[in-house]
Amino acid sequence: MIVLALVLLPILAGIIMLLIPAREENPVLAKGAGTVIALIEFALALGARDSEFSLRPWLSRPFESSFHFGATGISFWIVLLLAVVTFSAILAMSVPRQRQFVAQMLLLEGTMMGVFLAKDLLLFALFWDLMLLPVFFGLLGWGEHPATAWRYFIYNFAGGLALLLATATFGVLFGSTDVIGRTDVHVVGSWVPWIFIGFAFAFLVKTPVWPLHTWMPPTYSNTPPPMVAVVSAVQSKAGLYGLIVICMAFMPDYLKAYAGVLIVLGVISLLYGAVVSLVQNDTKRIVAYSSLSHLGLIVVAICSFNAIALQGALIYIIAHGLFSAGMFLTLGYVEAREDTRSLVRLGGLGAVNPKLAGALCITSLAALGLPGLAGFVGEIVILTGVFQAGFIWVTILALIPIVIAAAYMLRLFQGVMNGPEVEDLPVRRDLTWLEGIALAPIVLALVVLGVNPHALTTFDPAQYNATQTQVAQGVAR
Amino acid sequence: MIVNVTNADWSAIAPTSIVAVTALVVLIADLLAPKHINRYAAIVIASIGIIVAGVIAYNQFRSGVNYGAFGGAFILGGFSTVFEEIILIAALGSIVLYSAIGREDRIAGAIALMLWSTSGAMLMAGAGNLMTIFLGLELLSLALYCLCGLADRPTSRESALKYLILSSMASGFLVYGMALLFGASGSVALADLTQPALATNPLFWMGAGMFFVGIAFKLSLVPFHAWSPDVYEGAPLPVTAYMSVATKAATLAVFARFMYAAIPSGIGDKLLLPIWILAAISMIVGNVGMLAQHDLKRLIAYSGIAQVGYILTALAGGTPLGLRYAIYYLAAYTFMNLGAFAVAALISGDREEGSRLANYRGLGRRHPAAAAFMTFFLLAMAGLPPTAGFLGKILILSTSVSAGYAWLGVILIVGTAISLYAYAKVIRAMYQRDEHAHVHEAKANVPLAWASAVVCFVLVIAMTFYPLTPSNVLPLVK
């Protein structure tokens, strides 16, 4: 029941909020209501661990399908991440037509809850397409270039269609789509490679991975900061989540067969993202390309078929969610103060805005993998696992972007906070209380996970010795 | 052959005849009723007639009877009643729209024509022999020719003339094909076309080929589609709404009955392959064609071309489940289309320039609710969740994969991806921040149109979560 509430509450709240006539706009009330919903969601998410709920059957022909939700294994952690990030994003935001924007944020939260809580492939596909809409409308209504909305939508909908076809075929072959988290699922037949390719295409577009990433930098830089924080922190993880709980769990042979290709794409993303990030002047684009780089590392980790690497991937999924959300929010605050995102214009803000500088400092240090913060744990565990799996060259190649990451993150921080004060930049007040409270849980979680990553145990160590598939199924279960 | 007509025969065609008689009552009431209420009299009588027919058809459906009335000329069964229901819903929706925005002085005539056309479509849904098919088709089409020309604008007359000429030619093909089929089999009954000996008879192949050309025209499959955007554009909006659903439903019923029940065993794959290829081309051309449109009606015409391709994809392979999913998708298509037309009626009435996409610019600001509904219906046509379009596509995909027509499924996916761009173009226009739009405003608050939009909205959502498909549609011949 809790899991159902997790999905439906924000969706219903969002719809109601959209339906209220807009005669007297009260931005504070809208934000307050959104924050309360997000807080309730967080409380629900905390209590949702290992709960499952099956509403009723959906289809009986041509395959069985049901409204089945569950917060087990990796789902629980991502859902918790989603709840935290949405809360932080809504709490301190300030955009025009705030009520509608809060509604879109809530719809985004609810639909993504659906993606990560769905235990049925058809339900998963339904929410997968549905979670595109709030971002589409966000881009259309609040983005700087509405054309970006297009690119985002077409790319991701194409992926969603591949997912749909793969789901239908999977259902026909296996006879049921109520499978996520089950361990007895084996699909066989000459169709399976195509099913795999359909799923993989959708997941790689969503993650994204080079060369399917071209929608991502413009989307990230055009979306309003609160929304992009959620999108980059959680929505991008839907692809990785799918790779683990669907591709790896049900079609391990094919994932293994194509692992070489995926690892190459992952490594290219890793290097390409890092290098491009180094030369960007738009602060949001820097973080966007760094995401490409970081998510490439997770793809490599998943495809290396090693239990340690997979554990690292889980930690890094959460860590990346936290620090990318933190960075996008902080940079959003900077942008709201100075009306620019360009590194050419910005500079010297640290002297008058020490709290803002501190927040950006911690999140960017986590992003570059400083020991003691969550990013480091993820990276080191992934690299250990990939090395152990025998991909020595991949490990060495993956070390290069970590060095570059230090360069572009420090460049970003210095460009915004250090250096001489720019004369004609407006001087605004430092981080407000509300913004501080919004960032606090993210920073706190980064530190806690950095020193105590064991908090994030998703499957018991006994399974470390088992095969990768069993581990993946353990993760999903 | 002498046929003894019994009461059972009459009750089998009761829904059809009730609709036809209702049309007469509408006309008489229009003569007798005082001027200021005759508009409402026509609507109320027509609605009552349709609802009574619908209830009777529903009871027939529930009873599970399978009966060949009039010596097998009209086959009452789950299949015919389901199609009758869909056609009746289309008629009711369009009549409601007509009464909301149509010209007042022509309302009774238009409604009567629409009812006759409906009864023709219902005859086609139950047609058990070639003559009934032709009878129903002509009744459907003749009324539509008049309806298309009903609006006061040159394009409307153009639409009627174009439809008349091209459709008559298609009817020519159809009837010639029927004659050849009759020559080959020696019988007009569809059931007699299954004789195995026909498989080697060139007359049968020629006849079937010409028959399919006629069908493909009526379904506006590419390359027989060119008439539909023009006719849709010129016809009055409610007539377009009616045509986009009822004509297609009736023709699909004929086609489905033919392919499921009237083909000599063993040659179905060979005989129908051209149709599947046309369906595939239609899915691509229809969706690509949408991209270039600047008028909502034309856009929906092209969308209809593609959607028929989707429905044929479900039929490919000839599985019973495929037929059920085709009906499911057809019902979904009906509600999505009627919903979209209801919103279009709300926004612009039935003026010629009203359905231009330029007119939808900035609609999100002016009429947020109308824009939201339109967005919903367009996304439903594109197959986004949580709509019946989404589930319908999943069902079609799964049945095409299991029937061995996965290539059609892949083309469906490609077509859908293209279509999304076209639908999203309209959505973007609606939410664009454009203050200089040259807008032809109309009454934006027509309760009847609102009501039908809301009903369609609810049904499209409900169909997703309660996907009922009729289980007793087979057998198709008696």
pLDDT per position as a tens digit, B369-384: 888 999 999 999 999 8
Q: To the nearest whole percent, how much of chain B has pLDDT over 90?
A: 61
Confidence class for position B438, pLDDT limits 50, 70, 90: low
Confidence class for position B1, pLDDT limits 50, 70, 90: low
Nearest residue on chain A to B465, alpha-carbon basis: A58
Structure confidence by residue, pLDDT tens digits, B126-184: 999 999 999 999 999 999 999 999 888 888 999 999 999 999 999 999 999 999 999 99
User: Is the CB of B421 less than 8 angstroms away from the CB of A164?
Assistant: no
Helices of type H across B77-129: 78-101, 107-126
Domain ranges, ordered by start, for chain B: 267-471
Residue found under tokens 């020991």: A371
What pLDDT, on the 0 to 100 scale, is given for residue B439?
A: 60
User: Is the CB of A162 less than 8 angstroms away from the CB of B413?
Assistant: yes
Tell me which residue of B446, B424, B254, B252 sits closest to B349, measured CA to CA. Answer: B446
Q: Of the candidates B384, B402, B465, which has its C-beta nearest A62's C-beta?
A: B402
CB B336 within 8 A of CB B388: yes
How far is B57 from chain A, CA to nearest CA, in Å? Answer: 26
How far is A158 from chain B, CA to nearest CA, in Å? Answer: 6
Q: Is the pLDDT of residue B111 over 50?
A: yes
Nearest residue on chain A to B362, alpha-carbon basis: A141
* End-to-end Cα separation, chain A, in angstroms: 18
ipTM score assigned to the predicted complex: 0.88
What pLDDT, on the 0 to 100 scale, is given for residue A39?
A: 93
Contact list in A for residue B473 (CB cut-off 8 A) is: none
Determine the Cα–Cα distance for residues A296 and B455; give it in Å rounded to an integer.
47
What pLDDT, on the 0 to 100 scale, is given for residue A18?
A: 86
CB A326 within 8 A of CB A304: no
Q: Of the candidates A22, A62, A161, which has its C-beta nearest B417's C-beta?
A: A161
Structure confidence by residue, pLDDT tens digits, B220-278: 998 999 999 999 999 999 999 999 999 999 999 999 999 988 888 888 888 899 999 99
User: Angle A121-130/A132-142 helices, nearest 10 degrees?
Assistant: 0
Determine the Cα–Cα distance for residues A358 and A348; give it in Å rounded to an integer.
13
Question: In Å, how far are B180, B244, B461 from B455, measured between CA atoms?
Answer: 45, 18, 10
Q: Of the candidates B368, B394, B402, which has its C-beta nearest A122's C-beta?
A: B394
Determine the Cα–Cα distance for residues B258 and B128; give it in Å rounded to an integer.
9
User: Is the CB of B424 less than 8 angstroms away from the CB of A153?
Assistant: yes
Structure confidence by residue, pLDDT tens digits, B46-88: 999 999 999 999 999 998 888 888 888 999 999 999 999 999 9
What pLDDT, on the 0 to 100 scale, is given for residue A264?
A: 94
Structure confidence by residue, pLDDT tens digits, B332-343: 999 999 999 999
Beta-bridge mates of residue A65: A59
How far is A245 from chain B, CA to nearest CA, in Å? Answer: 21
A98 CB contacts (<8 Å, ≥6 apart)? A25, A27, A30, A31
Q: Of the candidates A63, A127, A149, which has its C-beta nearest B398's C-beta?
A: A63
Q: What is the SS3 assignment for B419?
A: helix
CB A225 within 8 A of CB A143: no
Q: Which uninterrupted H or E stretch holds A56?
A: strand A52-59
CB A127 within 8 A of CB A68: no
Determine the Cα–Cα distance for residues A8 and A2; give it in Å rounded to an integer.
10
Contact list in A for residue B407 (CB cut-off 8 A) is: none
Domain ranges, ordered by start, for chain A: 258-458
Sign of CA dihedral B333, B336, B339, B345: negative
Confidence class for position B443, pLDDT limits 50, 70, 90: low
How far is A274 from chain B, CA to nearest CA, in Å? Answer: 32
How far is B409 from chain A, CA to nearest CA, in Å? Answer: 8
Residue found under tokens 């040159």: B154
How far is B87 from chain A, CA to nearest CA, in Å? Answer: 26
User: Angle B130-148/B248-261 helices, nearest 10 degrees?
Assistant: 160
A→B contacts (Cβ < 8 Å), by residue, are 18, 22, 58-59, 61-63, 122, 125-127, 129-130, 133, 137, 140-141, 146, 149-150, 153-154, 157-158, 161-162, 164-165, 167-169, 171-172, 191
User: Is the CB of B395 less than 8 angstroms away from the CB of A62?
Assistant: yes
Structure tokens at A263: 């690892």
What pLDDT, on the 0 to 100 scale, is given for residue A458?
A: 56
| Mean pLDDT for back-to-back runs of 10 residues, chain A (477 residues) | 91 90 76 92 89 86 89 87 94 86 94 94 94 91 84 90 92 89 81 92 92 91 92 93 90 89 94 93 92 93 88 90 93 87 84 87 90 89 90 90 90 87 76 89 91 70 49 58
What pLDDT, on the 0 to 100 scale, is given for residue A181?
A: 83
Cβ neighbour number for residue B471 with a 10 Å cutoff: 12
Q: Of the candidates A125, A140, A164, which has its C-beta nearest B431's C-beta?
A: A140
CB B87 within 8 A of CB B232: no
What pLDDT, on the 0 to 100 scale, is given for residue A463?
A: 46
Contact list in A for residue B317 (CB cut-off 8 A) is: none
Q: Of the candidates A58, A126, A150, which has its C-beta nearest B424's C-beta?
A: A150
User: Is the CB of B402 less than 8 angstroms away from the CB of A162?
Assistant: no
Tell me which residue of A3, A5, A37, A22 sits closest to A106, measured CA to CA. Answer: A37
